[in-house]
Amino acid sequence: MNKIFFLVFTLFTITGIQAGDSMPSTHNWNIGSTNAAVHAHRVASSKPVGIVSGVLDVAGISRNAWNGNKIHSAFTKTSRPCPPFCIQPTHPFAPAPVDTVTELDVIHAARDVAGGDTSVMVIDARTPAWTKAEKGGTIPHSVNIPFNTINAKALAKDPMAVVEILTDQFGVADMDGVLDFSGAKTLYLFCNGLWCGQSPAAIRALLQIGYPASKLKYYRGGMNSWQSLGLSTVGR
């Protein structure tokens, strides 16, 4: 028993999973200590899985340490119908200069958030059901603000509700009906993947309302790419 405990503890240390975070989807820790020990042995016999060479963990985010790990079942499907699940362009907001960012950019933003930087937010623009552990969870240090609360339909239906999100969460000031974006936060938005239109819909609405393009970042790969790299997730 002591040996099994040591192996499980070693796995937690290697993967950098923090208390309160969900386990990667292929790690079923509710199947008994024997299987947990087997998995710990697999990790111990695997070659290192760094974020980049020499870096295994950033702000509690790491990659699954077992070389045989596979992507979460929620993201194995390849042929979703288009429309609506069409491939997003690399720069879908042109001519607005919204940056399309990579996993490393999102990891650095999450690191900044974890370090107390209040000028940055990582936003999961999916509906809440997708952030649950059984659906693969979400990116650590992100905040769930569903796209349908800030998209064009939401803006047309109840613009003041959208303004409230901007002023309460995004650092925008309402100056007697005129929005002041000078203190607006830099937002990294993502959804399910490069076939998902949810975060693009949110970004288009934010641009429409006057949010500075320079403070909007589009993580095109989304959770599909995040999961394909075995990066840490948390379930809500």
pLDDT tens-digit series, residues 112-151 = 999 999 999 999 999 999 999 999 999 999 999 999 999 9
Q: Which domains does the chain have, with CATH numbers?
A: 2-65 (no CATH), 74-228 (3.40.250.10)
pLDDT tens digits, 169-201: 999 999 999 999 999 999 999 999 999 999 999
**Region of residue 62 (phi > 0: left; psi between -120 and 50: alpha; otherwise: beta):** beta
Which are the contacts of 101, defined by CB distance < 8 A and separation ≥ 6? 188, 217, 218, 219, 220
Q: What CA–CA distance (Å, rounded) separates 47 from 14?
A: 12
Choice among 65-69, 94-98, 149-153 with the minimum mean pLDDT: 65-69
Task: Report pLDDT for 35.
Answer: 74
Q: What CA–CA distance (Å, rounded) separates 42 from 40?
A: 5
**Global pTM?**
0.84
3-class state of residue 87 by DSSP: coil
Pairing mode of beta strands 143-144, 120-124: parallel
Report the percentage of the chain scoring pLDDT > 90: 80
3-class state of residue 40 by DSSP: helix
Closest C-alpha among 73, 68, 61 to residue 38: 68
